[in-house]
Chains A and B, each alone.
Chain A
Amino acid sequence: EVQLVESGGGLVQPGRSLRLSCTASGFTFGDYAMSWVRQAPGKGLEWVGFIRSKAYGGTTEYAASVKGRFTISRDDSKSIAYLQMNSLKTEDTAVYYCTRDYDSSGYYDYWGQGTLVTVSS
């Protein structure tokens, strides 16, 4: 059974940093691209970024709203994807979901349960 479990969320002050983790199981993690999608309270879904599998260079893409502040990485030996968030803003407050990217297509066939990040002073 495919499982994605996010961790690392919490309350953080504006300008500070936070790192989220996504621990995967039930599939060969290294074969898949992984994405992060967020949802602000009461709002819709917003793509944050993704990381390709090593077979496709392990490169990353980011939404304009987070580019230069957020970094996605992966440790295939541990089946973990990370989202490093720096220079956090109040508008980054959201539930952050880790997703498996089906065939590196941009279609997300499995989602984690999400972790809440609150940016507030």
Chain B
Amino acid sequence: DIQMTQSPSSLSASVGDRVTITCRASQGISSWLAWYQQKPEKAPKSLIYAASSLQSGVPSRFSGSGSGTDFTLTISSLQPEDFATYYCQQYNSYPPRFGGGTKVEIK
């Protein structure tokens, strides 16, 4: 099974900051990587698929990059509604697996 490792596990940032979250796969997954956002007591919401494609309706301040084993989610200018937990997920092979999550908190 492919393991997914996110870093950091949490971070504190201010509104307007540029935020970067990293996700590493234990083996190559090409670009079969997705990012999700989850707010407390809510269902996850899809943000990015195929490593860098923005899901419809997602603000352009979110972007993804990477291929193979190393991936990045970037929020170019953090907004109040972006404080949440972010998960990466590989879907290159079964079983699909999620990273442990990165909690973005207000500084």
A and B co-occur in one complex? yes
> How many of A's residues come within 8 Å of B, CB to CB?
21
B45 within 8 A of A: yes
Query: Interface 1/0s, chain B 26-63, versus A by CB < 8 A?
Result: 00000010101000001111100110000100000000
Report A58-71 CB contacts with B as 1/0, cut-off 8 Å: 00010110000000
B87 within 8 Å of A (CB atoms): yes
A108 to B99 alpha-carbon distance, docked (Å): 15
A36 to B100, CA, bound (A): 18
Q: How near does chain A come to B97, taking the closest CB pair, in angstroms?
A: 7
User: Is B91 a contact partner of A44 (Cβ separation < 8 A)?
Assistant: no
CA–CA, A63 and B96, complex, Å: 9
* Interface of chain B: mostly helix, strand, loop or mixed: loop
Query: How many A-B Cβ pairs are below 8 Å?
Result: 55
Choose one: B45, B49, B96; the contact of A47 (CB below 8 Å): B96
A25 near B: Cβ within 8 Å?
no
Interface residues of A (CB under 8 A from B): 35, 37, 44-47, 61, 63-64, 97, 102, 105-114
16 contacts between A and B (CB under 8 A): A45-B36, A45-B89, A45-B98, A47-B95, A61-B95, A64-B95, A97-B44, A105-B49, A107-B49, A108-B36, A108-B89, A109-B46, A109-B55, A111-B43, A111-B46, A112-B43
- Additional A-B contacts beyond A44-B87, A44-B98, A107-B49 (12; CB < 8 A): A37-B44, A44-B100, A45-B44, A45-B87, A47-B95, A61-B95, A97-B43, A106-B91, A107-B34, A111-B45, A111-B46, A113-B43
